[in-house]
């Protein structure tokens, strides 16, 4: 067993490396594949840019946590990466470590907080836009939930994927409930 200290794991605050190693545990992928899959599977609760993924791939390779696989028979010599034993061990240790407190950042809440400084009713449009965007997200999650209930995931993680989708559904329903509450209060007492 490879010993990787929690101190080393905590040295880097970014969780990008764990997303990458988690995806590579499913099989070799390119940076482009990782970005595409991140958008497909995690877009409702996690985001990573190419600007985060590629530098982290280099660091992971330098740390011996992933290995580069050169594929010369593909156009532009596509670079794919695989997870090393050391990387798998670090991923498992991270999975066993306590999760950090999540940080919420909602611009609409920041604007709501300071809306008393803006013309009357300014927040109304922001909350309506918030409601529209999150209604769309909720509808997408409901479709994904139905699809998962019909066709199990191929990575033996069906229950875990469904658990994340269900939390997303509950969370977005709570966001929409808040938006409706604010809009109703505004109708009764325009500020």
The tens-digit pLDDT sequence of the chain (191 residues) is 555 554 444 444 689 999 999 999 999 999 999 999 998 888 888 888 878 999 999 999 999 999 999 777 766 667 999 999 999 999 999 999 999 888 888 899 999 999 999 998 889 999 999 999 999 999 999 999 998 888 765 556 788 888 999 999 999 999 999 999 999 998 887 66
The closest of 37, 153, 47, 28 to 87, measured between CA atoms, is 28
What pLDDT is stored for residue 7 in this prediction?
44
- Say whether 191 sits in a helix, a strand or coil: coil
Q: 140: which residues sit within 8 A by CB, 6+ positions away?
A: 44
- CA–CA separation, 67 vs 14, rounded Å? 20
Query: Number of C-alpha atoms within 13 angstroms, CB side, residue 61?
Result: 15
CA 81, 87, 92, 96 torsion: positive or negative? Answer: negative
């Amino acid at each position: 067993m490879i010993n990787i200290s929690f101190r080393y794991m905590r040295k880097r605050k970014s969780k990008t490396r764990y997303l990458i190693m988690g995806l590579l545990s499913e099989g070799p992928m390119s940076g482009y594949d990782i970005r595409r899959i991140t958008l497909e599977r995690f877009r409702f609760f996690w985001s990573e840019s190419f600007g985060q993924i590629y530098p982290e791939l280099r660091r992971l390779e330098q740390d011996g946590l992933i290995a580069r696989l050169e594929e010369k028979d593909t156009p532009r010599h596509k670079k794919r990466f695989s997870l090393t034993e050391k990387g798998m061990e670090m991923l498992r240790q991270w999975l066993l470590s306590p999760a950090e407190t999540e940080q919420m950042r909602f611009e609409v809440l920041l604007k709501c907080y300071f809306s008393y400084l803006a013309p009357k009713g300014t927040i109304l449009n922001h909350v309506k836009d918030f409601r529209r965007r999150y209604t769309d997200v909720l509808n997408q999650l409901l479709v994904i939930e139905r699809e998962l209930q019909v066709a199990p995931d191929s990575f033996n993680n069906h229950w875990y994927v469904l658990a994340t989708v269900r939390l997303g559904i509950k969370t977005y329903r709570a966001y929409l409930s808040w938006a409706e509450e604010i809009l109703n209060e505004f109708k009764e007492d325009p500020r």
